[in-house]
Structure 1
Amino acid sequence: MTTERISAFTSDKARTKFLAAYTRTLDRVWPADHRSIDVPTSFGTTRVFRTGRPDGVPFVLLPGAGGNALGWHRHVTRWGLARPVFAIDPVGEPGCSTQDAPIADGRDTARWLDEVLAALNVDRAHLVGCSYGGWTALQHQLHTPGRAATITLLDPAGFGRITKRFLLWVILGGLAGLTPRPLRHRAARWLRNATLLDDDLMGMALVSAGFRRRLPTPPPLTDDELRELAVPVLALLGGRSQMYDAAQVAARIRTLMPTAHAEVVPDAGHDLQVHSPDLVTDRTISFAARAEAVA
């Protein structure tokens, strides 16, 4: 087995520094009534944070590339008032999980998530995925269907090839994250990246520099794959998304997935989750409740 395709910290020191910052941030921003669960899978051990109500079909939260459960700190308390919440640190991303086998493609990604849900005894879930996490949720439904009650996508990956424009936006955001707080906040407006305004998340971004991510790049979903997705889907797209033309993606979703609902959020970019946290929280709660009411 080659280690070249396994995500990991560059050193024990980098991992220790990251985990110390993670723990401090978790204690500061996360609900006190949570518990952590370590789930063994074929691809490594996955850390899951469980909070919220004891009963009901849970929200299962999947962050974007380079993210972890902490990225949901603006949403998780209110979601937990509605139903159980499982926030996942995906294997292969900087977090409290560890990867020990390669994840080669969408099928492997789906298998990993299905193993996590099975170990948690989650037979039905409302999957919520941001960016790469949205692609992960769709891969799970395509390759291991049956557990998703609904899927909520927040400016998801997989609806076009990764462009130079998007990569430049990511790189500039990363560089801006290294600057002093006042300059970083000014850069947030210029780059249309609200994540740069979140001091808690940016503190984690700095200590994530010692992590090397080795997960597959999402290929564009085909028309046939989108037609295959019969589960209720809510797609919230940033009107100024740096990833793609949101209006075109919304039209494609509406055409190929008649049971899906696509909404373009004006002024938000790919930072939708952080830019419009109340809208995201409200839409997700309402969508899950409506789907259960008609099930």
Structure 2
Amino acid sequence: MMADTYKGFKSKEAFMKYTEIYGRVMNHWTVKTESSNIVTSFGDVHVINAGHHDGRPLVFFHAFGFSAAMWYGVADYLKDHYRLYFIDVLGEFNMSNTKDHLNEREDYIEWITEVLDALGIDQADMIGHSNGGWHVLNYALLKPERVNEILLLAPAASMKRMNLSFYMRLALTNLFPNRQNIVSSFCRWLTHERKPEQEDLFELYYIGQTRVVWEYVMTPPKMFKNEELSQLSVPVTVAVGENEVIYKPSKLKKAAQEKLPQCSVSMINKAAHMIPIEAPEEIANLIQSIFSHNDREKSV
């Protein structure tokens, strides 16, 4: 049993500091938001709700460690057309509270399904960035009956191995968790178009990593087998920045087109890995083109 921990953090004070910086990132949202906590078999899931109450529901999964607060730019462009749900993924440092080990891919299926049930979503449209992209693809593969269509933004692993540079920088953040390694050498490296508001998000990542207690096992993103990917039964779009750093964007594009049926690939100009915060308008336009098109198909 871990001593003196609080909601996955080293202490109540550590959690309160994280909450303070989370609030600072939320100040960048120009959209009215509400928060809810959904009790699941693996923990309490924090969800940011925004957008049009009668709009088509879209469910978002963030990049590892950057939390649901990272979607501030994208939400602004979508608020008038969709009901938006931004999930703080269990097993990471964020505002959700993990209470059990996430050892298997199926464990994520269980709690995500429980969240969808609580939100009243029978069949979801899902958008996932980086590690969130892995979660979305994993869900679509194992629970296709609950998925309508998916958008993967620079998915971690999944169909293309990440490069050595990524793993070396990530290892340094764990071996020597100082501000230089975490913020300067890792978070900023993930971006091409840098903006002042990104620094608050990077500070949130830094506070989270240096104050979290890894009490519960989580499943890291892995490559899916080609045979399984070939059986994907839902439409999928993959987007990657032209300056992506965790793998060569051209190789991800090739892998996606070869391994995923019903797949289209979009390249995002002047962006590296953090495309939702680097190019929010472009990502929002892509989302609207995908899911508005799907709406038209359903109405025929």
Q: Same fold (TM over 0.5)?
A: yes
Inter-partner Cα distance in structure 2 for 1:77 and 1:170: 31
User: Number of aligned pairs?
Assistant: 287
Inter-partner Cα distance in structure 1 for 2:190 and 2:140: 33
Determine the structure 2 residue equivalent to 1:53. Answer: 52
Determine the structure 1 residue equivalent to 2:212. Answer: 211
Inter-partner Cα distance in structure 2 for 1:51 and 1:142: 27
Report deviation, 1:102: 0.5
Of residues 244, 266, 274 in structure 1, which corresponds to 2:277?
Answer: 274
Determine the structure 2 residue equivalent to 1:118. Answer: 117
Moved more, 127-136 or 279-288: 279-288
Structure 2 residue 65 is matched with structure 1 residue 66 = yes
**CA pair 110-100 structure 1, distance change in 2 beyond 3 A:** same
Report deviation, 1:151: 0.6
> Quick check: 1:169–1:191 contact (8 Å CA) kept in 2?
no
1:187-226 correspondence to structure 2 within 5 Å: 188=188, 192-194=191-193, 197=196, 198-208=198-208, 209-213=210-214, 214-226=217-229
Moved more, 255-264 or 80-89: 255-264
- Say which SS state the counterpart of residue 80 (structure 2) adopts: helix
Report deviation, 1:137: 0.5
TM-score of the two chains, using structure 2 as the length reference: 0.85
Inter-partner Cα distance in structure 2 for 1:55 and 1:287: 19
Output one character per residue of 1:9-41: Cα deviation in whole Å (capped at 9) or x when no partner: 122221121112223432x12345322111000
Inter-partner Cα distance in structure 1 for 2:25 and 2:280: 19
Inter-partner Cα distance in structure 1 for 2:184 and 2:256: 35
TM-score of the two chains, using structure 1 as the length reference: 0.86
Determine the structure 2 residue equivalent to 1:80. Answer: 79
Report deviation, 1:219: 1.5
How high is the sequence identity, in percent, across the aligned residues? 25
Report deviation, 1:80: 1.6
Q: Partner letter of residue 178 of structure 1?
A: R
> Quick check: 1:135–1:218 contact (8 Å CA) kept in 2?
yes
- Say which SS state the counterpart of residue 22 (structure 1) adopts: helix
Report deviation, 1:8: 1.9
**CA pair 247-201 structure 1, distance change in 2 beyond 3 A:** same
Inter-partner Cα distance in structure 2 for 1:205 and 1:194: 18
Root mean square deviation, CA, Å: 2.9
Inter-partner Cα distance in structure 1 for 2:232 and 2:190: 34
**CA pair 166-195 structure 1, distance change in 2 beyond 3 A:** farther
Moved more, 9-18 or 262-271: 262-271
Q: Partner letter of residue 104 of structure 2?
A: D
Q: Partner letter of residue 136 of structure 1?
A: H
1:1-295 correspondence to structure 2 within 5 Å: 8-26=8-26, 28-31=27-30, 33-157=32-156, 158-170=158-170, 178=179, 188=188, 192-194=191-193, 197=196, 198-208=198-208, 209-213=210-214, 214-295=217-298
> Quick check: 1:195–1:202 contact (8 Å CA) kept in 2?
no
Inter-partner Cα distance in structure 1 for 2:71 and 2:97: 20
> Quick check: 2:57–2:124 contact (8 Å CA) kept in 1?
yes
Query: Unaligned 5+ residue runs, structure 1?
Result: none
**CA pair 10-176 structure 1, distance change in 2 beyond 3 A:** closer
Query: Unaligned 5+ residue runs, structure 2?
Result: none
